[in-house]
Every structure is written in structure tokens, then in C-alpha cells.
Amino acid sequence: MILWFTILQIAIAVLAGVLAVAVGLAKKPPSDLTLGGAALVGVLLIAQVVVAIVAPLSGNPPTGNPYEFWAYLISAVILPPVAILWALLERSNWSTVVVGVACLAIAIMLWRMYVIWTIQSA
């Protein structure tokens, strides 16, 4: 993983997450803004998949368990489309909160991925 790209991703995921949770709690149904944020998080995750494939080939392999890393990454990639689809099918303010929660979960997963990639306790 690349540090600056990971930080950027986590920052955007947290931002999109907090925004959607706040907008949702203000009783607004999913909008282009909140869903766009989740979509951006999703696109960046796909870029992260590319990074995770290319980085080991250019001398930046994961120090931790690569399977665990990929389990997190694949789970994270699935989340934005599912959350967006959910929000499109059920246009309630709580769906906006759900989209935000998904983005925040992705931020946590990205942090876990970076820990697995770089720091190994065992």
C-alpha cells in the first residue's frame, strides 16, 4: 500500500461517512451528494485493488498475511455498491445514515489493511 494514497482514502471515507450520517440524521433522503461521496470511496477502493496488485511487483510487498489483507479489501470493495443500491431502493433518511455507516466502516477497514500491510505484531 502507498501511505499518502491510504491517508487520502481514509480521509475521504471519513468525510463522506460523517457527511452522510449528519445529512441522514437531519432527515434527508439519499442525495447526489451523499451517494456521490460513497461512489468516490468505491472508485478509490478499486484503485486500491490495482495498487495492491502492482505494489508487490515493484518491491513493496505486504509484511503481513496477504490473504487477510485481501479479505478486508474485497469486503470493502463490496460495501459501496451495496450501500448505494440499498439507498436507491429505499429512499428514506435512514438509508442516508446507512450509506454513511458503510463509509465509516470502510475507513476502519482501510486502516486495518494498512496495519496488516506494514506493521506486524506477531
Partner 1 sequence: MTSRTSAPPVRRRRISGVGLVLVAVYGILALAATGRSTVQILTDFSEAPLAYTLSAVAAVVYILATVALVARGVLWYRIAWITIAFELLFVLTVGTLSVVDAALFPRDTVWSYYGLGYLLVPLVLPVLGMLWLSRHRPGAEKVES
Among positive and negative, which fits the CA dihedral 26, 29, 31, 36? positive
User: What part of residues 74-103 is at the interface with partner 1 (CB under 8 A)?
Assistant: 74-75, 78-79, 83, 86, 90, 92, 94-95, 97-98, 101-102
Q: Closest separation between CB of residue 34 and partner 1, Å?
A: 14
Q: Which amino acid is at 105?
A: A
Cβ distance to partner 1 smaller for residue 44 or 106 = 106
Closest CA to 34 of 75, 86, 78, 111: 86
CA–CA gap between residue 72 and residue 80 (Å, rounded)? 14
Query: Pattern 31-70, binding to partner 1, x per CB under 8 A?
Result: ----------------------------------x-xx--
Residues engaged in binding partner 1 (CB under 8 A): 65, 67-68, 71-72, 74-75, 78-79, 83, 86, 90, 92, 94-95, 97-98, 101-102, 105, 108-109, 112, 122
